[in-house]
Structures are given as structure tokens and as C-alpha cells.
């Protein structure tokens, strides 16, 4: 098992190094000039050159790459040329909001996707199965920004049940962060009213973000459960009088969860990248909105920082899935 874990960690490390190389190449082939952007539109040539030397942009590419990797090892993502702040400081401020949004969305996807997949498989080709399959196809096909606007119109503009944007009301005094996750911090502080307010603000963006994830988990889990319920060992268990609940939960679901775990890992990465659209629609103060505003300003350091954070989360999620694969299927440990 230790060899299996070390192999997976080594593979994740190689992928991370490839992502670092890719972000460096993209940052250097981008058409905008970071030094000219930092100097401003009225700066002279000498001012631009001074800033280029200050940022190390006048050095050869291989020296810039070594400095780039060294800074990343020290968790230094550079400095935003548009705001002058350290990108790492901004990411530490915005990332908890994005992480909380993705965790709530993934929880919705798991809590509804897996049970709906099981129910659909147990009632294969029945009315329930047809309804859930239509729901799954709709979840994959609906554009997130369009779905978000529809929910804003329905639940905020027409019904007035939920707020349209932000993380908290502008009139609410924010609490001192403990973990950075507002729902968790409000519970730790025993502030029930703040928890309810935060839950109302996160409900719509989390639902929009979770919808494709829920649909994909439902489809894969249903398909794998249908195959598992046809297997010989399931037929033998039924012949021996094993209860249906035990057959479904203990025997069939364990095997069906292997491909479902792979989808969960992939959807986590896609979910982190999808926050760009969702956070823009709902004005959610996370890394997605931060990346959009930086890209509009032509500020590539924050964009590259967000890209690295999203890629690192993708790799961590897939590493966890690989390790869970080894737990659920011991045959993979020697692969």
C-alpha cells in the first residue's frame, strides 16, 4: 500500500510541475506588457524599463523561470501590477469563499446524486427512471450562467425569497474569520442568525454550481448500479435470502462507487474552474471573480495564481480519489 501511495504522490508532483511550466509559458506569450500596465498610460519609456528591471522581466527566460519556481516554493505568487498587492495575500482572502461554495455544491451533488442514481437503477425503465434521466441530461446541458440568471429572476426578483448577489448583506458586520468558511465560522461562534444569512446567500450559487455535478454523479451511479445489480454475486445473494437493503448498500453500491469516485474527482476540478462564471453572475467574492477582474485589467499574475490554485485542487482531489480506489479495490494497490 505504501508503494501505491508514493507512486500516486510522485505522479501528482509531476503533473504539478507540468502545470507550473504551462502557466509560465502562457504568462510570457501573453500580448500585454505587465511593466507598461503597472507604470500606467502616461508613463515614459524610462519608467517602464525601470519597472521591467524591478519585476525581473528584463532577464533571460530561464532565469525568470528559476525565479518563478523559487517564488512558488516559498508560496510567493508575485505582485499584482494593477493593485500593487501581493497575489498570495489576495488569494488567501478570496480562496476560502470559493472553497466554501465548492464544498456546499459538492455536498448537494453527493447527497442527491448518489441516492437518485440508486433509486433510478432499482426502478430501471420505470417512470422514476425516466424522470431522473431527463433531470440528468438537463443538468449537463444547462449553461451555468443562464441557469443562474433564471434562479435570480425566480427566487430573488419574483418571489423575493433569496438574495441575488454577495456573500453577506452590506449592513451585516463581518465576523473575525476562524477558518475562512463563513458557515463553519458562524457555527463555531454560535451565531445562528449569521449562519442563516450566509446560507441564504450561498444557496443559489451553490445550487447552480452543483447542478452539473449532481447530474453527472446521478448518470454514472445509475449506470454502474444497473450493471452491479445484474452481476452473478448479486443473483447468488438474492438466492440465499440476503435482504434487499444489504444487497444494494453493502454489495452493489461498493462496486458502483468506483467509477462514481472518478467522476467526483473530475467534477471537483471542473467545479473549481466553473466558479469563474458562477461567481461573476452572483458577484460572489471568490477567486473566480478575482480572476475575471484581473483578466479584464490585463493583470496576468493573479490569473496565473488562480490557475495554479485550481490546478492544485484538481490534483489533490484526484490523488484522494486514487487512494480511495486502493482502499475499495485492493487489486489496484499492486497495479
pLDDT for position 107: 92
Where does the pLDDT of residue 332 fall: very low under 50, low under 70, confident under 90, or very high at 90 and above? Answer: low
> Which domains, from first to last, does the chain contain?
2-73 (no CATH), 89-334 (1.10.3720.10)
Give CA angle at 310 (317, 35), nearest 5°: 160
User: Residue 234's beta-bridge partner residues?
Assistant: none
**pLDDT band, very low/low/confident/very high, at 254 (cuts 50, 70, 90):** confident
* pTM for the full predicted model: 0.81
Tens digits of per-residue pLDDT, 36-81? 665 555 666 676 667 667 666 667 777 777 877 887 877 777 777 7
Instruction: Between 157 and 26, name the one with better pLDDT.
Output: 157
Across the chain, what does the average pLDDT equal? 81
Residue 104 has pLDDT above 90, yes or no: yes
Q: What is the pLDDT of residue 117?
A: 87
Q: Residue 258 corresponds to which cell in the numbers above? A: 468506483
DSSP H helical ranges for the chain? 2-29, 34-39, 45-54, 61-73, 87-122, 127-141, 144-151, 182-188, 192-229, 232-239, 244-246, 253-282, 287-296, 300-328
What is the arithmetic mean of pLDDT over 191-205? 90
Phi then psi for residue 79, to 5 deg, are -125, 135
Taking residues 256-263, report their average pLDDT: 80
Amino acid at each position: 500500500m505504501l508503494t501505491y501511495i508514493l507512486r500516486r504522490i510522485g505522479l501528482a508532483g509531476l503533473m504539478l510541475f507540468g502545470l507550473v511550466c504551462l502557466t509560465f509559458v502562457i504568462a510570457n506569450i501573453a500580448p500585454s506588457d505587465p511593466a507598461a500596465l503597472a507604470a500606467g498610460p502616461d508613463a515614459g519609456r524610462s519608467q517602464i524599463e525601470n519597472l521591467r528591471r524591478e519585476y525581473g522581466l528584463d532577464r533571460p527566460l530561464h532565469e525568470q523561470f528559476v525565479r518563478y519556481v523559487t517564488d512558488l516554493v516559498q508560496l510567493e505568487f508575485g505582485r499584482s501590477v494593477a493593485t500593487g498587492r501581493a497575489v498570495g495575500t489576495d488569494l488567501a482572502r478570496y480562496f476560502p469563499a470559493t472553497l466554501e461554495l465548492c464544498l456546499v455544491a459538492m455536498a448537494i451533488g453527493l447527497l442527491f446524486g448518489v441516492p437518485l442514481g440508486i433509486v433510478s437503477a432499482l426502478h430501471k425503465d420505470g417512470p422514476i427512471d425516466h424522470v431522473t434521466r431527463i433531470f440528468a441530461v438537463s443538468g449537463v446541458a444547462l449553461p451555468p450562467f443562464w441557469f443562474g440568471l433564471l434562479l435570480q429572476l425566480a427566487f430573488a426578483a419574483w418571489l423575493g425569497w433569496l438574495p441575488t448577489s454577495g456573500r453577506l448583506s452590506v449592513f451585516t458586520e463581518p465576523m473575525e474569520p476562524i477558518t475562512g468558511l463563513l458557515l463553519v465560522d458562524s457555527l463555531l461562534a454560535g451565531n445562528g442568525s449569521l449562519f442563516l444569512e450566509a446560507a441564504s446567500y450561498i444557496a443559489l450559487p451553490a445550487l447552480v454550481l452543483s447542478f452539473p455535478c449532481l447530474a453527472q454523479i446521478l448518470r454514472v451511479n445509475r449506470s454502474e448500479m444497473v450493471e452491479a445489480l445484474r452481476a452473478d454475486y448479486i443473483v447468488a445473494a438474492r438466492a440465499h435470502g440476503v435482504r434487499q437493503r444489504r444487497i444494494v448498500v453493502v454489495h452493489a453500491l461498493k462496486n458502483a462507487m468506483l467509477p462514481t469516485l472518478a467522476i467526483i474527482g473530475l467534477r471537483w476540478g471542473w467545479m473549481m474552474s466553473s466558479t469563474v462564471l458562477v461567481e461573476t453572475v452572483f458577484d460572489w467574492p471568490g477567486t473566480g471573480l478575482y480572476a475575471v477582474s484581473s483578466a479584464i485589467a490585463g493583470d496576468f499574475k493573479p490569473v496565473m495564481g488562480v490557475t495554479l490554485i485550481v490546478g492544485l485542487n484538481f490534483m489533490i482531489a484526484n490523488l484522494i480519489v486514487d487512494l480511495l480506489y486502493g482502499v475499495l479495490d485492493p487489486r489496484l494497490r499492486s497495479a
